[in-house]
Chain A
Amino acid sequence: MTNELRELRSARGWSQGDLADKLRVSRQTVNAIETGKYDPSLPLAFRVARLFGKPIESIFDDGEGGRKR
């Protein structure tokens, strides 16, 4: 699964640590999600979506369909 987490975070000028604090996870988890080594759980994906004010499918792409903008 690919995602736009790094781009969204960078656009807001947040560090991985800042985003981790906002999502109440560790910085390692944010890094693993950004590098595609870990797919977040559904509750965490929802928290990410709410934080950035975007639908989940516009942030995460499972490769089965085009990512919505």
Chain B
Amino acid sequence: MPELRSYFKCYEPRFIAWALVAALVTVLAAFVAKRFEPGSAPRLALAALEAVAMGTVVLGLVVRMRHLDELQRRIQFESLAVAFGVTGASIQGWGFFEKAGLPRFDWGLWGWPCMAVVWAVAFVFVKRRYE
């Protein structure tokens, strides 16, 4: 278990808890915001709250990553590159389908969760390459 834990240094319980809170705040703010008119002050304030919540998660992640050793960092960066590529291709690909008539998908809201899930899956496979 300590071996696995060392790979997850950047996912300390405190960080995970904060990321979950930030995700919850973001999703809740998105739903609450629908009750207000676009461009209204409350709606803009909620949007700012979402942006700040996500920004702090990214900052926390960068700080945690700096505590990893060089191989662990490489594994994380390779996983991130895969997540970036897959999410980007998904957004672009879905855009083509939208133009072809499929319903619009809110990537602004789901892009980040999608990237996080792909990152986690990619991490499992990338880590195996170095075992």
Contact = CB atoms under 8 A, between A and B. Distances in A.
Interface in B57-76: 69-72, 74
Interface in A8-47: 24-29, 31-32, 37-38, 40-41, 44
Interface in B96-131: 129-131
Nearest to A31: B131
A29 B129 contact: no
Nearest to B70: A41
B3 A29 contact: no
A37 B131 CA distance: 8
Contacts of B6: 26-28
Contacts of A27: 3, 6
B7 A28 contact: yes
A31 to B, nearest CB: 8
A27 B72 CA distance: 11
A51 to B, nearest CB: 15
A56 to B, nearest CB: 16
Contacts of B130: 28, 32, 37-38
Contacts of B72: 26, 28-29
Nearest to B5: A26
B70 A32 contact: no
A32 B129 CA distance: 9
Contacts of A41: 70
Given A32-B130, A32-B131, A44 B3 contact: no
Interface of A: 24-29, 31-32, 37-38, 40-41, 44
